[in-house]
Structure 1
Amino acid sequence: METRMNVGTKIEHGGAHIEYDSLMNLDEGWVSRKVFYDRDIYEEEMRQIFARVWLFVAHESQIPNPGDFVTTYMGEDGVIVARQRDKSVGVFINSCPHRGNKVCHADGGNARRFVCNYHGWAFDIGGNLMGMNAEEVYDPGDIDKSEWGMQPVAKVGVYKGLIFATFDPGAPSLEDYLGDYRWYLDCILDSDEGGSELVGGTMKFMIPMNWKVAAENFVGDAYHAAWTHDSASKAMTGGMAFPPIDFENTFHSSANGHGLEFGLDGIGDIALLGRPKVTEYFMDVLKPRMEKRLGALRSQIFGSIASASVFPNLSYLPGISTFRTWLPKGPTMTEVRSWTIVNRDMPDDIKDEITKAVMQTFGPSGTFEMDDGENWEHSTITNKGYVTRQGRLHYGCGISRKDDHAELPGIVHRGQFADSNQREFHRRWHDLMTAESWDDVPDRRSNRLKGRETRDLPQGLKSL
């Protein structure tokens, strides 16, 4: 039975008075349109969610050597992610503590130091202040350099190649944050001996939408695919339409807001790449390896029509191999950063074929990306209308399909056409927006798995 939210939850921060329980009732299956447009709600998201959850900042393959770095954002806070000399990873705010100027303007590279172009303050790759231009203008005692480096994040964690960071020293461990969802995440990170890597560079583009519109689409909206992407799928597959959905063998699974919707046919998403060479490699080489490594069930899940999100803003399509973050730039603008994720041990020609297929389908001019971007834009900007914004959005599909599945971890619902994971995504959003600290955030993974001994877990969870 789903937990009902306490009535009258109101949070007051920074002058905002927001009645969160008036914004959604997920037991009834609706969400207020204001969630996707209101400026005060957005500002509270920066404080209540992005300033304290674990956020994906880079893949280890992007910074393999000491001095390698990339720049990105955690919420709207710019950060530098740099490989240190001891091979650890440092993450610190990309802002000079002298006058606040952005220190590093490059997307990535290799550096021995970062130097602010305003007054020449110089920092090592760990963000420590090493010296300043015309340092003689400072009298003895004016500054203690050890206290004026670039501000580091509270914690950095790595899970099988994915680098995450959090600003909140009270955040749970990364392993606890990902929790049972790691069973699904391993389908793209640990399906072969060599692990994963990002290839082909970074695609960056802007969509005038609220970040949650895209994140919740990837976490569970298979419903739109056969309609929105009908022509694109036929173009990629030589005229083949989306296969009919088998409700008995399709699922939604969510764990603390992270979610995957998927089938068990093992081929649907692979076929959408439109690359026979890739299909042959996946079916004949990778999936047999995956079955030995992760078990038969996950080898069936991989490659099926599926989409996934790690709360709050990391999404991917297993099988199609697009991997992306939704970086918020205000309540009605989002920067998309997208990569191609592959197994490191794949042959180079297969990696090249997958990269081209991802660009053709889910790049800025991709056949599927353009379909989605137009929908997401208009799903956001229609809420500009005052009267429109007072309305509700329906999230009730599949509300009674919860299934205590014997093998699948997470909060599982049957049926690929459902709002189940989207409801759990917004439930996690509500949890964080109304919690004063992590102690107030409930555990919303599968009740079936709580308290079990390791020996009782489904295949693959024993290694977590």
Structure 2
Amino acid sequence: MSATLNAEAIDRYRFPAADCSRIPYGMYRDPDIYALEQERIFRGPIWNFLALEDEIPNPGDFRLVEVGDTPVIVDRARDGSLHAMVNRCSHRGSIVQRATHGNAKTHVCCYHQWSFDLTGNLVGVPFQKGVKGVGGLPADFDKSCHALRKLRVESLNGAIFGTFSDDTPPLREYLGPVFTHQVERLFNRKLRILGYQRQRIFGNWKLYTDNLRDPNHGGLLHMFQITFGIARLNATGGAKLDADGKHNLSWAAQGGRAGNAEDPGKDYGDTGRGDMNIKLRDPSLLRYHKEFPDDLTLAVTSLFANAALQQIGNTLAVRQIRTRSADEFEIVSTFFGYEDDDEAMQRHRLRKANLAGPAGLVSMEDGEAVELVHRAIVRDGQDHSVVEFGGRGPVRDQENLISDVPMRGFWMYYCKLMGIPTGETAS
């Protein structure tokens, strides 16, 4: 992307408040902004979640993922080491590995059969010397100069992250103590992978990261969650952020505030959100079996910029955001439990998996909400969303669920990486 186009894209929109309490709609719709994000965010100085070690447990195991819209192979080499490389042949640019997962000795491009080892090095070129001294590559062709582009890789408790940048700080430093703890909390022992869900949403990927950092919507949009008390805005909960505001943990816990305990619907009296006294014929779907040393029953840990770690009761998953364009993205969710789960707990986790995903009883509304916003802001890109729940000014931890502050933290860090100036904080 040319420097001129960079400047033009950035200059099109104005953040009038330094605290990002006003977000210009054009930031979600502009294809030039999207292209710049691929360069400065996903290929920039951040750690992108790639996969789980328990998805590639054996030498030769691999999975295909995406960093932004860049196709990437994640694999385990013969010596057990982890590697990630761009899934694009250094010959003509074709996709090399086409199977979504599997076990391989090498990755071979079907177009001209160039082969790469599990670390991404070029190891085989058919007819490199031609036939009978005719054709082939120049005599000084050096395979070592034509490896697949490699990412730096680090793993924390079996969660694999990758970065394109040599300047990205070590993973623990990038996450900070709160979010290092959240990764260690969730991936505290050997996992059992239960399955996957994929969802394509016709909207901008940042509308979804906004949604993840907006605990305010969870107790208003999601009727199942409100009706059956999984997470109501009058209950105990809040949000934690790292020092930059880029990562966020939205949480709710057992005990503590309960709003109006005698009449749980009273606090929702002016919302028109329905009958709080409906009961499930089989309430076991809502049962939470305590399995962590804390009291969190709902914890969504959003890691800048492409992942969310999900605990909704006993359903556990990692959601990875894969961008397609300014107008489309995909969410790939990896559901898991622990290897030492008994059969009853495994069945319970699988049942509760119905709470999340594209048809989830809790979260099916999220994709629709993103698309509703994306369609409505197709024009008037200089107009702004109002992000002021929780107040204006500095970004800090929140002790309640009625807050937009985590969303502002994301945008402040986003503007820093993108080189987008922000105005003076509104009064």
Report TM bin, short chain: 0.7 to 0.9
Residue 72 of structure 1 is matched in structure 2 by: 65
Q: Is the 8 A contact 1:322 1:338 kept in 2?
A: yes
Deviation of 1:353 after TM superposition, in Å, equals 2.5
Q: State the alpha-carbon separation in 2 of the partners of residues 112 and 342 from structure 1.
A: 29
Residue 368 of structure 2 is matched in structure 1 by: 374
Identity across aligned pairs (percent)? Answer: 26
Deviation of 1:369 after TM superposition, in Å, equals 3.4
1:160-239 equivalences under 5 Å are: 160-180=157-177, 181-190=179-188, 194-195=189-190, 197=191, 199-219=193-213, 221-230=214-223, 232-233=224-225
Higher relative contact order (CA 8 A, sep 6+): 2
1:81-96 equivalences under 5 Å are: 81-96=74-89
Q: Is the 8 A contact 1:112 1:125 kept in 2?
A: yes
Q: State the alpha-carbon separation in 2 of the partners of residues 18 and 341 from structure 1.
A: 40
What is the TM-score when the length of structure 1 is the normalising length?
0.76
Deviation of 1:275 after TM superposition, in Å, equals 6.8
1:282-321 equivalences under 5 Å are: 282-283=289-290, 286=291, 290-291=292-293, 299-300=294-295, 302-304=296-298, 306-318=299-311, 319=313, 320-321=315-316
3-state SS of 2:411 partner:
helix
3-state SS of 2:78 partner:
coil
Q: State the alpha-carbon separation in 1 of the partners of residues 12 and 173 from structure 2.
A: 26
Q: State the alpha-carbon separation in 2 of the partners of residues 37 and 114 from structure 1.
A: 36
More helix as a share of residues = 1
Residue 4 of structure 1 is matched in structure 2 by: none
Note closer, same or farther for the CA distance 1:166–1:266 as it changes in structure 2 (3 Å cut): farther
RMSD (CA atoms): 2.8
Q: State the alpha-carbon separation in 2 of the partners of residues 376 and 117 from structure 1.
A: 38
Q: State the alpha-carbon separation in 1 of the partners of residues 16 and 338 from structure 2.
A: 40
Q: State the alpha-carbon separation in 1 of the partners of residues 377 and 38 from structure 2.
A: 20
Deviation of 1:205 after TM superposition, in Å, equals 2.4
Q: Deviations over 1:104-147 (max 9, x none)?
A: 11111100111111111111222211112233312561521121
1:423 pairs with 2:416: no
Given the alignment, which residue of 262, 268, 283 partners 2:251?
262
Note closer, same or farther for the CA distance 1:82–1:28 as it changes in structure 2 (3 Å cut): closer
Give the partner amino acid of 2:149.
Answer: Q
Residue 266 of structure 2 is matched in structure 1 by: none
Deviation of 1:373 after TM superposition, in Å, equals 1.0
Q: Which runs of 5+ in 1 are unaligned?
A: 1-10, 292-298, 403-409, 437-464
Note closer, same or farther for the CA distance 1:276–1:102 as it changes in structure 2 (3 Å cut): same
Deviation of 1:15 after TM superposition, in Å, equals 5.9
Q: State the alpha-carbon separation in 2 of the partners of residues 266 and 136 from structure 1.
A: 73
Q: Is the 8 A contact 1:401 1:414 kept in 2?
A: no
Displaced runs of 4 or more, over 6 A = none
Residue 334 of structure 2 is matched in structure 1 by: 339
Q: Is the 8 A contact 2:47 2:163 kept in 1?
A: yes
Note closer, same or farther for the CA distance 1:178–1:266 as it changes in structure 2 (3 Å cut): farther
Q: State the alpha-carbon separation in 2 of the partners of residues 62 and 327 from structure 1.
A: 18
Note closer, same or farther for the CA distance 1:187–1:226 as it changes in structure 2 (3 Å cut): same
Note closer, same or farther for the CA distance 1:84–1:348 as it changes in structure 2 (3 Å cut): farther
Q: State the alpha-carbon separation in 1 of the partners of residues 12 and 183 from structure 2.
A: 31
Residue 146 of structure 1 is matched in structure 2 by: 144
Q: State the alpha-carbon separation in 2 of the partners of residues 20 and 182 from structure 1.
A: 37
Deviation of 1:91 after TM superposition, in Å, equals 0.6
Residue 273 of structure 2 is matched in structure 1 by: none
The number of residues matched between the two structures is 386
Q: State the alpha-carbon separation in 1 of the partners of residues 73 and 20 from structure 2.
A: 43
Residue 276 of structure 1 is matched in structure 2 by: 284
Note closer, same or farther for the CA distance 1:435–1:173 as it changes in structure 2 (3 Å cut): farther
Q: State the alpha-carbon separation in 2 of the partners of residues 332 and 54 from structure 1.
A: 24
Deviation of 1:214 after TM superposition, in Å, equals 1.2
Residue 250 of structure 1 is matched in structure 2 by: 237
Residue 156 of structure 2 is matched in structure 1 by: 159
Residue 424 of structure 2 is matched in structure 1 by: none
Give the partner amino acid of 1:419.
Answer: D
Q: Deviations over 1:287-314 (max 9, x none)?
A: xxx33xxxxxxx12x214x432001120
Given the alignment, which residue of 29, 44, 50 partners 1:37?
29
3-state SS of 1:390 partner:
coil
What is the TM-score when the length of structure 2 is the normalising length?
0.82
Q: State the alpha-carbon separation in 2 of the partners of residues 242 and 55 from structure 1.
A: 30
Note closer, same or farther for the CA distance 1:243–1:309 as it changes in structure 2 (3 Å cut): closer
Note closer, same or farther for the CA distance 1:108–1:21 as it changes in structure 2 (3 Å cut): same
1:95-174 equivalences under 5 Å are: 95-137=88-130, 138=136, 141-153=139-151, 155-174=152-171
Give the partner amino acid of 1:345.
Answer: D
3-state SS of 1:346 partner:
coil
